[in-house]
Amino acid sequence: MSEGLFVIDRNRTILSYNHSAMQIFGIDSDVKHQNLLTVNRSIQFQKAIDEALCGRHSSETITMDDHCYQILANPVVQPTDSSTNSTQGEEDIIGVVILAMDITEREAREQYRREFSANVSHELKTPLTSISGFAEIMMNGLVRADDIPHFSKKIYQESQRLIVLIGDIIKLSQLDEQSELPEMEAVNLLELAQHATELLEESAKQHTISVSVQGDAGVIEGIRQILEEMIYNLCENAVKYNIPGGTVDIGVDARKGKALLTVRDTGIGIPKEQQSRVFERFYRVDKSRSKDSGGTGLGLSIVKHAAAYHNAELTLESVPGKGTCVTVAFPLYDGSENAE
Ligand code: ADP
């Protein structure tokens, strides 16, 4: 049992406890017959016990050594004689059962969700405010006929940004919940890389960036739609954060039982201290460059989730002013299950 457990009497004397309770509360010698106060003196802990001693179920949260615990305290009631029609009072409480559960991860996840919701609202509000502003001045007849195409274009661009953003949020939540995901199948990474370069051809040409794909057919077991998205995001970044005349080299090869996908660019690079943060949701090194190129700040978090979903290892090497190389090492698909 991973939960810490104490049973105390109505005077708070410890009658019994388990090994997890010793670990959680850092108990290193026998505390049987001692007062529960010797275990933890925090106000919340005592409050949970006080409530239970008054006959009420109670729940409190306490923090110890960077861990967060939920304390559940339940009164233990003296069985009453049903023939004597008496009602239960505080005097019937003979003790309390206390459970301590480690909820650190759950709390961190909730905190993460709260921050994500706040960020999403902010990111949605910005383009919507522009759309509403442009539409309002057009509606009030404050725009000259010549300027209408310009204003309509702005409205179109901002609404496109919203569509892309909402699309990315949906993809992330599908990966988070692992719901509505199609079945795994054998997927050829080289084919996906070639497809991604075709989609990016136009934008690479505009920025005079040459893109090449090399390697062997690395076949892995995965979800095509997610892998397509992952490779596209990596290649798109390699083009977006590149310099005019730069290159993007995509490689797929099998080495040591792994299918390695590498996306290497000669672009602006990422400062060392920000390299681990770029996988966070909405984190951007240069906010305006990202926004100008239609970035949502979610591309690499989708990549990170997609890699984890496929048990792949993700590494990023980058030197500012020289370029970036992202490697995804997937377990190779041996097809043995389907071989017969
Ligand atoms: P975005 O939509 O802003 O591109 P991403 O999650 O894909 O969001 O990337 C997060 C940030 O990491 C980007 O805003 C950019 O600052 C940085 N970044 C990502 N890929 C590269 C790259 N290949 N070269 C330089 N910077 C990059």
Pocket of ligand 1 (CB under 6 A): 233, 237-238, 241, 265, 267-270, 278, 283-286, 290, 295-301, 324
- The two most distant CA atoms of the chain are separated, in Å, by 93
Dist CA 157 CA 127 (whole Å): 9
- Asked if residue 241 has pLDDT above 90, the reply is yes
Could you tell me the pTM of the whole model?
Answer: 0.77
- Asked if residue 340 has pLDDT above 60, the reply is no
- Asked if residue 173 has pLDDT above 60, the reply is yes
Q: What is the pLDDT of residue 80?
A: 67
Q: Which residue has the higher pLDDT, 279 or 255?
A: 279
Q: How far is the CA of 289 from the centre of ligand 1 (A)?
A: 9
pLDDT digits (tens, 9 = 90+) for 9-27: 999 999 999 999 999 999 9
Q: Measured from the CA of 298, which atom of ligand 1 is nearest?
A: 6
What CA–CA distances, in Å, run from 249 to 143, 194, 196, 325? 46, 11, 12, 9
Q: Where are the beta strands (DSSP E) in 279-338?
A: 313-319, 323-331
Which residue's alpha carbon is at the smallest distance from atom 20 of ligand 1? 237
pLDDT digits (tens, 9 = 90+) for 123-148: 999 999 999 999 999 999 999 999 99
**DSSP tally for the chain: helices H, then strands E:** 8, 12
Give me 114's structure tokens.
């709260």
Q: How far is the CA of 177 from the centre of ligand 1 (A)?
A: 24
Q: How confident is the model at residue 339 (pLDDT cuts 50, 70, 90)?
A: very low
Q: How far is the CA of 278 from the centre of ligand 1 (A)?
A: 7
Q: Measured from the CA of 242, which atom of ligand 1 is nearest?
A: 24
The pairs formed by 72-80 with CB atoms below 8 angstroms and a separation of 24 or more are 72/48, 72/98, 72/99, 72/100, 72/101, 73/48, 73/49, 73/97, 73/98, 73/99, 74/98, 76/7
Of all residues in the chain, the percent with pLDDT exceeding 70 is 95
Dist CA 37 CA 267 (whole Å): 61
104: CB partners within 8 A, 6+ apart: 66, 67, 68
- Asked if residue 177 has pLDDT above 90, the reply is no
What CA–CA distances, in Å, run from 78 to 72, 73, 81, 90? 20, 16, 9, 10
Give me 91's structure tokens.
């005097």
